[in-house]
Every structure is written in C-alpha cells, then in structure tokens.
Amino acid sequence: MAWTPPGKDCGACGSGSCAEFSARVAAGERNGADCPFLSLPATSAPVRADYSGTDVLGNRYDFVLCALPGEPSARKFVVPFRPDLIERWDIRPGEIVTGRPAGPGCPVYHALQVISANPVTGVLACHTVGPLATRTPGTKVHDLQAYHVHAFEGIARTIARPPVLGTRQRFLPGYCMMDLSHTAVVNMVLSKEYGTHVRLEDIRIQ
C-alpha cells in the first residue's frame, strides 16, 4: 500500500506542504524517506505532554505554566530588541512574529501569534504557535530575529510548590521544546474556578 504523508505540513522535507512533497515524490524528484515522519501513520492522536516534575537537566520545577481556558498556549509578553518596529511595521493582532527569545538565552526560534501590540511600551502579547502558522496563506509574518521575554501568563498546573506572590520560582512552560525549566518572579496569583492564574516576570533560563 502506498505511503501517505501525515499532513503535518512541517516543511522539514524542504517542501511547502505534504501535498507538494507527494507531487515531487510522484515526479521522481524526491524520495519518501526524505519525510521525517516516514514511519508514522497518516493520522496520529493529538499530542499530550507528560510532566514528570523535573526538566531535561534534572532540575525540579514548582509548576508547569499552561494555557488559559480556550487559548492555544500560555500568553507570552515580548519586547523586540527594536520596539519601534511595532509601529514601523504596523504589527497587528492575528499576525505572526518570529524570532529567538535571546533575552533569556533560549536557542530555539519561535513563531508567535500576536494578541495585542502596544506601540507605546513596545510590548507584544502573544501565543506561541507552531511553524506551520508562518506558512498559512494570507498570514502576515514579521521576523523580529530576536526579542526579550517580558512576562508569561497562564494557569499553574502539576504544582509541586504553589506560586507565591513576590518570590522567584522555577517553572516549566507547557510544551517547552527543550524541556528546560525557567525561573521568574511571581507577579500575580489569582484563584479562579479554572485553576491558579499566574503572571510571571523577569524570566530567566538558569
């Protein structure tokens, strides 16, 4: 039976989409083995993260920061190294910004969907989204290249030590690709029906 790409449109094979890759394979320009998901079935179950309480380096974290209800990820508040670009590029909600959170020292390039853009403070409120968002037709993408992470906001889950206002605590951002815990100062703690709503500032990877 012919193998069918999984429909992830990840671009890892060098094609813009699985459909384009399939066409190139059919034309003899590419080999199915060029797809990193060759051994996976055409469809797969939604990804579920399991949190052990320790990160990849063995550091124990106090909690995992997860998305607020109905949102795709915890909110991330970032400041471009050149905040004037928000106004210069007219960055708007729904658009995508890309770059590396060089302030905390993360080596991973991120794709963020803008929730709000403040040209006065230079702060972009965003959700972290996958790289596929940068290839969605009609989506405007701005490459910031690098930015500071000002704050995170979301729900504390998998709590080993509850967040305490004004203290620096270790947390793991939900779905962190590096599985590396961060530290931050707890700036807000709200007890909500959906969980413990927190805001974290002065983000560091240490």
Query: Mean per-residue pLDDT for 92-100?
Result: 95
Q: What is the pTM of this model?
A: 0.77
Taking 90 as the threshold, does the pLDDT of residue 170 lie above it?
yes
Taking 80 as the threshold, does the pLDDT of residue 32 lie above it?
no
Tell me which residue of 35, 64, 90, 26 sits closest to 154, measured CA to CA. 64
Taking 80 as the threshold, does the pLDDT of residue 204 lie above it?
yes
Tell me which residue of 63, 52, 50, 29 sits closest to 186, measured CA to CA. 63
Is residue 83 within 8 A of residue 128, CB to CB? The reply is no
Task: List 142's β-bridge partners, or say none.
Answer: 97
Tell me which residue of 131, 57, 125 sits closest to 91, measured CA to CA. 125
> How much is the pLDDT for 54?
94
Q: 91 or 28: which carries more pLDDT confidence?
A: 91
> How much is the pLDDT for 104?
76
Using left for φ > 0, alpha for ψ between -120 and 50, and beta otherwise, residue 122 falls in left
Distance CA 22, CA 31 (A): 9
Distance CA 82, CA 127 (A): 20
Give the chain's domains with CATH numbers.
1-45 (1.10.15), 63-204 (no CATH)
Distance CA 158, CA 178 (A): 18
* Sign of the dihedral defined by the CA atoms of residues 119, 123, 127, 132, in that order: positive
> How much is the pLDDT for 137?
84
Taking 90 as the threshold, does the pLDDT of residue 103 lie above it?
no
Is residue 78 within 8 A of residue 121, CB to CB? The reply is no
Taking 90 as the threshold, does the pLDDT of residue 88 lie above it?
yes
> How much is the pLDDT for 18?
79
